[in-house]
Structure 1
């Protein structure tokens, strides 16, 4: 779903056309009543939340934000309980389920998984870009690296299967006390559904050659707008900002994984290669961010943990944008960057919660 290979360019073009089509068809963005909630004894958070709400207006859509300072527990949400399409940020809960199985001894990071012929299809994937013949073997560890660093969709779909599928992944979230995240489909099925093939499921329904034709097919702006309306109303593969922030906090604090697995997941996310213009886009040069991006249709996301300088700590930052009427996903990225910078600066200058008291 996140992209820069030839297919990634095709998906980005489809998304841009869909945005243009929906803007022409519907005009002004649908409005969602804004809801802000503050956490912790910090009067200054009211000012931060107000600034983030102001910045969110630039998205011309619905924006969800959750930000929590890990060392003090202070934070806020904007539309924190509203569901948003996760796009490729759903790869974080998939990784948590895989590493939970490693912790329980059900999988090993060094288990070699052979990819079947049907596993390899045209999508945003280094595997399909470079290794389009059967016989490829990759370890669980390597698949995690591909899924989280470059948002590889084939690696994701293989790990989705190894994780036990939708019920097991969503069930792991519930076991962790997180009710606002649901994972339902492979990226294969999710993209096909978005492009107007509701018959495609996790179990199949489309051959790789047919999937290629689906991606390459010409579509009218009206068709793309209709596809987006259907996709945006679908509750599958969605999360609330508050739930995703809770998952990231629990990973950081070792509540859902062993210390070793928690550190591995965070380390891979620090090396994420997508979304340089999102959470990281307006931060001071060299700021470390462990994050995962997501992009599809009118949805542009980035979720992660921002390192603050000195002893100021770390801040979980989740930004979801849906139903944006901006011209393309790249135009949404500065909104994410500006929100992340506001959050970063607030907690740098006010690491202990004294501002406004």
Structure 2
């Protein structure tokens, strides 16, 4: 569904609204264990979180930049399919859309694994990358009547900090989930604006290992992959939540994005008028709900693979059941015959003009 240009930004019935800025890219999912060609889906943490929230019934407003090429059409078609409002995405003429290649295969133990690459899998050329908004584009956006209840940021830039600062004044809840942890002035400025900050343990190194001692946000979350997550409310001790074991595990890509979207959805849907919306019990339940959504999606390839196989009601029902029963592990009864649609004649790389079918031929995926 494409938003009508005549509607005010973020107006779709009386739904909750989340705006977000950061990585807007096209994911090229290459499943080395399948004979299908690469699958093209909208991707990037910010894009995934906003698209998942739209899938869960929110007004989602994506803010950022993309290119004007063959990939942007696929990107926008996918976003519009899920009802994401794309009118604040600047399409740069003559530029290429950012591309991320996800490869899925197995390790020596026979366990599924995935990896991300910003280079062409054949010629090694760098693929088009993320570009932040210009300050002129940012000013134009802030002149709009933009008042979301949540603002999500995954990339630190002058533009994202400026938007966060203004929307903080407009009473938006600021959710900061940096994909890269660089302790710059902009990082600290965005951190201080954030009500919620979510960091991956994988991103921490010796230089940033003490970062949690420096943060004093209302809610801080440290994700630990298969080990679950730790969280701390302001002035409270750290708590731990184990992850769910998935029997038919397929792909962990996007697990963190589902957790973030689930947390946002659950907190805002179940808040009360009394006190802070970040109460301890509500936050714990919201994180478990987010973990449950992540576990469901891990049964499918791609960062949002479950959305193309299951309905909103099915995913919500399964996630709530997992959350309430807290099983040690769970298994979905899936139809193995269902196949996702793919495109077999797209150029992946602007330099070598690699096409999907020629990639399959080179790596032996074609039957």
Could you say whether these structures have the same fold, taking a TM-score greater than 0.5 normalized by the shorter chain as the test?
A: no
TM-score with structure 1 setting the length: 0.25
Which of 1 and 2 has higher RCO (CA within 8 Å, sep 6+)?
A: 1
TM-score with structure 2 setting the length: 0.25
Greater strand content: 2
Greater helix content: 1
